[in-house]
Amino acid sequence: MVISNKINLGFLVVGFVLVLSSLVSIFEMGRIRHSVGDMITVNVENINTSTQLLEVTDQHVFGLLNQIGISQDSILGLESVYNDVRFENYMETTRKSFTLAEEKALADSILFAYAAYMQVMNEAPAVWRDNGYSERRDWYTVRLKPTYTRLRGYIQKLVSYEQALLQKNTTYVQDGFYRSMMPGVIAVASGILLLFLLSYFIRLYLLLPLAQIRNGVKNTMMFKKKYQVKLPANDELYELNESITKLCEEHNKS
């Protein structure tokens, strides 16, 4: 039973190492998926919302530009701008997901810039009512365009920042994937090493002694040679070898 116990113990060790490494890999992947996966989702949503902020702002300005060349007696149509609540809704939705100081600072800058932008935009009806094309163009260039450019710049900074966060989190997921694979790789390497050692143990303590016993019995049966195989004590092969020694001695005496 000694040899069989050692062999069973070796297989149990190999199995334990493989199972443990698999559990570690699964746990690590689950941790990364839950912690970083949600952040990536938020990053993508923030990028989409920030892009929508740009679209709303551009629509307002382009709509105003289209009306600069209208005759002086025409009425400026900005009801769609003043009644448009998409910008506020997008900002409210996005700010709830901000957790970093840089994100919150950019959001505050966007809100302040938007307030200044809308304040200048409110001057448009009076400018259109009392002035012609040249004055409207100058008002746009001097008053509205700088506030629009500032607002658009802050929004683009937010988009760039969220894209950088997305890249960082994506890289972290990739690195985490490789980290989670390392226990499996180590386990496979350890398993191969243990199997090699186990096979070496089986060959050294089981197969070689059996080969010696076989050759000893062959020499005794065919050439009447004395059976002289000696094995270490305290295992099943030793007991088997002792029994074979007695049988071979009886065979030679007959």
| Distance (Å, whole) CA 204 – CA 7 | 12
Q: Which residues of 135-169 are buried (b: 16+ CB within 10 A; e: fewer)?
A: ebeebbeebbeebbebbbebbebbbebbeebbeeb
Q: Can you tell me the distance from the alpha carbon of 211 to that of 215, in angstroms, rounded to the nearest whole number?
A: 6
φ and ψ at residue 11, rounded to 5 degrees = -65, -35
Reading the block at residue 153, the tokens are: 């710049």
The answer to whether 157 and 9 are in contact (CB under 8 A) is no
Q: Which two tokens stand for residue 206?
A: 């089981």
- Across the chain, the runs of DSSP E, i.e. the strands, are none
Q: Is the pLDDT of residue 165 over 80?
A: yes
Which has more pLDDT, 46 or 11?
A: 46
Share of the chain above pLDDT 90, in %: 14
Range among 91-95, 115-119, 190-194, 197-201 rated most confident: 115-119
Q: What percent of the chain has pLDDT over 70?
A: 72
Q: 25-51 pLDDT, tens per residue? A: 666 666 656 665 677 778 888 888 888
Q: What is the DSSP letter of 231?
A: -
Minimum mean pLDDT range among 78-82, 165-169, 189-193: 78-82
The correct CATH number of 2-191 out of 1.20.1260, 1.20.120, 1.10.1660, 1.10.3470 is 1.20.120
Tell me the average pLDDT across 87-97: 83
Average pLDDT over residues 99-122: 90
Q: What is the pLDDT of residues 130-153, one digit of tens each?
A: 788 888 889 999 999 999 999 999
Q: Residue 218's Cα: distance from chain center in Å? A: 64
C-alpha distance from residue 89 to each of 13, 93, 104, 125 (Å): 60, 6, 16, 25
- pLDDT, greater one: 15 or 237: 237
The confidence score (pLDDT) of residue 156 equals 92
Per-residue pLDDT band at 78 (split at 50, 70, 90): low
For the chain, what is the mean pLDDT?
A: 78
For the chain, give every domain's residue range.
Answer: 2-191, 206-253
